Amino acid sequence: MHTDATESSHGTNGWRRFWERGGWWRALLLVVAYYALYQLGSFAFLPLVTSTDDPAALIWFGTALPIALGGVLLVLFAWSVGWLRELFGPQPIRGRGWMWIAVAVVLVFNVLRFATIDYGATGAGVVVAWVVAGLFVGFAEEVLTRGFVVNLMRKGGYREIVVALVSALLFALLHSGNVLSGQSPLATGFQLVYTFAFGILMYLSLRVTGNLIWPILLHATTDPSIFLQSAYPADGALTAVAAQGNIAVVIAGIVLLFFIRGKVEPTASVVEPGIGTKVA
């Protein structure tokens, strides 16, 4: 009895075949579904948030644990479609030397912000809570947008500049709901611009390092450094320099976007999903 390559790899699992086709609308569907489930899961921690005024506990219950639950959901989804190895394996297209600019901009300002925090005023509990929350945020948001979205776009046959654009746009879209939690429209608007540009830099970090773990770690140091330095800034001229990090990210992300080239050609067979032919 003859069995083709697709059936031998995935049997008759329609769920896997659906996601293997890729495309921007599947990427959008996944992001919207994740956001809805994440918000739903956050309600489970709401009684713990409203019952405490301890700053560290608020971070644990309001940020760290809900996003950790989101990360678990993403791992389960990756397992269900058989993508764990390809998400965390080597990238199918090489980066260029200039892409290290993206890594440098994010890393330098993260270090500057961590160096200009008033740790005495912050307290060890808050610092630890934000560092752990940052790891969870970096993992969940990068696996979703630079992992799944990038993979789905490449499976859909899009050029890498479109892959970068869509992954950054959907990453920004994740943060648009902050306006519903009381954040001003102006602040939310700037956050959308920032997160879009940051998403471009994370895409470039993925390309140039060749593995998803590195944008995860870069992202994991970004959120804690921003929130801690904004809430507990140390005195000194270096603090003012560190505070320019968001502007530097926006400028770098928008400028570097126009230099993105390349395409990963989807393979005819899905025996090894996502491993395509790179076109420089």
The answer to whether residue 146 scores a pLDDT higher than 70 is: yes
Please list, in sequence order, all residues whose beta carbon lies within 8 angstroms of the beta carbon of residue 66, skipping any fewer than 6 positions away: 38, 41, 42, 44, 45
78 and 84 Cβ atoms separated by less than 8 Å: yes
How far apart are the C-alpha atoms of 5 and 269, rounded to whole Å?
6
Percent of the chain with pLDDT over 90: 87
Based on its alpha-carbon atoms, the radius of gyration of the chain, rounded to whole angstroms, reads: 20
How far apart are the C-alpha atoms of 60 and 109, rounded to whole Å?
25
pLDDT the model gives residue 279: 47
The answer to whether residue 228 scores a pLDDT higher than 70 is: yes
Q: How is residue 125 written in tokens?
A: 């509990």
How far apart are the C-alpha atoms of 227 and 243, rounded to whole Å?
11
In our burial notation (b when 16+ CB lie closer than 10 A, e otherwise), range 47-56 reads eebeeeeeeb
Sign of dihedral through CA atoms 109, 38, 131, 91?
Answer: negative
The answer to whether residue 164 scores a pLDDT higher than 50 is: yes
Percent of the chain with pLDDT over 70: 91
pLDDT the model gives residue 275: 41
pLDDT digits (tens, 9 = 90+) for 1-29: 444 444 444 444 999 999 999 999 999 99
Chain position carrying tokens 């976007």: 257
pLDDT the model gives residue 3: 43
10: helix, strand or coil? helix
Residues facing 233 on adjacent strands: 117
The answer to whether residue 151 scores a pLDDT higher than 80 is: yes
pLDDT the model gives residue 181: 79
Please, which pLDDT band fits residue 267 given cuts at 50, 70 and 90? low
Q: Where are the alpha helices (DSSP H) in the chain?
A: 5-10, 14-20, 24-42, 46-50, 55-59, 65-81, 84-88, 100-115, 119-122, 124-142, 150-155, 160-174, 185-209, 213-231, 237-242, 245-257
pLDDT the model gives residue 2: 43
pLDDT the model gives residue 276: 44
Per-residue pLDDT, averaged over 122-127, amounts to: 97
How far apart are the C-alpha atoms of 162 and 143, rounded to whole Å?
18
Please list, in sequence order, all residues whose beta carbon lies within 8 angstroms of the beta carbon of residue 160, skipping any fewer than 6 positions away: 93, 207, 260, 261, 262, 263, 264
pLDDT the model gives residue 180: 78
pLDDT digits (tens, 9 = 90+) for 26-79: 999 999 999 999 999 999 999 999 999 999 999 999 999 999 999 999 999 999
Per-residue pLDDT, averaged over 249-277, amounts to: 76
Secondary structure letter of residue 258 according to DSSP: T
pLDDT the model gives residue 241: 97
Per-residue pLDDT, averaged over 197-214, amounts to: 98
Return the closest-CA partner of residue 110 out of 252, 254, 227, 256.
Answer: 227
pLDDT the model gives residue 217: 98
